Amino acid sequence: MTGELTGQIAVVTGAGRGIGRALAIRFAQAGCEVAAVARTDGQLRETVEIIEAAGGRSIYVVADVTNPHAVQAMVQSVQADLGPIDLLINNAGRALAIGPIWEADPDEWWLDIETNLRGAFLCCRAVIPEMLVRQRGRIINIASGHALGPSPYFYSSSKAALLRLTDCLANELTLQEAGVRVFAVSPGMVETRMTEYLFTSDAGRKWLPQLANVPRGTTDRVVELAVLLASGSADVLSGRFIQIADNVLEMVQHVEKIRQQGLYSLRLHKLPGPNRP
C-alpha cells in the first residue's frame, strides 16, 4: 500500500474488469477503501478478492448505473458500509453501436449513450449532495480521445457529451464554492474486452479496420493519472479534459493561460472578425 489517499472512500464503476478493475486495485493500493460497482456479481467478487488478498479493504455493489433507483441505493449502501464518499470514478462504459448512423442499431446507440453519459450523470447526482455538505470530493470521468474528432462510430458522441458534462459540472461547483473538483480523463487505447470487440466483431472489421493497427497500451498510465488527480495536486484544472500523454504538473503551472484560452476543453472556434469574440 502506497498511502497517497489513505482514509478516503472511493467508488469505481465498471470495476468488474478492464480499466475499472485496474483503477479499483490501484486506489486500494493508494490507501482507499474501495467500493467496486458493476452489473456482474462474479466479476466484482474477483476484483474484491484481489484487493483483499493484497491487504486492502473493498466491498462490491451490483448496480446498473443507468437506473437512478439502483444508483441511489448503491450510494446509500456504500455510505452505510464504508462512510462518506470522497472519490467517484465514472468508468462504466459501452461501445456496441458501430458504424455510420444509417447502419447503426438505434437501440444499441441509445444504450451506449445511456451507459456513457446518463450513468455518469446519475452517479454524480447521487454523490454530490453529501460532498457539498462536507465541502470536499473529487470526481473523475473516464472519457476518450475519440470525443475530439471524427470517428466512424457513435461512442464518440457520448464521450463528447461527457466532456461537456464535466465542464458544466465543474462550473456549477465553482459557483457554489463547494470544494468539489471534477475531471475528464482519456485512458488511450487500452486492451480490454470492449476494445477487443471493436477489433474483432463483424461491425468492427467492416467499419473500423484502421483500429487493427493501433497499438494497445496497458492501464498503468491512466491509473497513475487518476491517483494524481485524486490526490488534489491538480485541483486548479477542475473541468478540464486530460489525456495520458499530458504533463499535468506543467498544466498546473500554466493554469491561467489554460483558463483564458479555454484549453483542454471542447470549444467552438470561429474566424476572427467583428462580433466573433
Exactly one of 60, 155, 197, 264 is catalytic; which is it? 155
d(CA 224, CA 238): 17
d(CA 42, CA 213): 33
Q: What is the largest CA-CA distance in the chain?
A: 64
Annotated active-site residue 155? The verdict is yes
Assign 3-state DSSP to the chain and report helix, strand, coil percentages, each to 5.
50, 15, 35
H or E stretch covering 205: helix 202-207
H or E stretch covering 140: strand 137-142
Q: What is the DSSP letter of 215?
A: P
Phi, psi of 27 (to 5 degrees): -65, -35
Q: Is the dihedral of CA 184, 218, 64, 86 positive or negative?
A: negative
Whether the CB-CB separation of 22 and 45 falls below 8 Å is answered with: no
How do strand 241-243 and strand 180-186 relate by DSSP bridges?
parallel
Bridge partners of residue 12, in order along the sequence: 36, 89
Which amino acids are annotated catalytic? 155
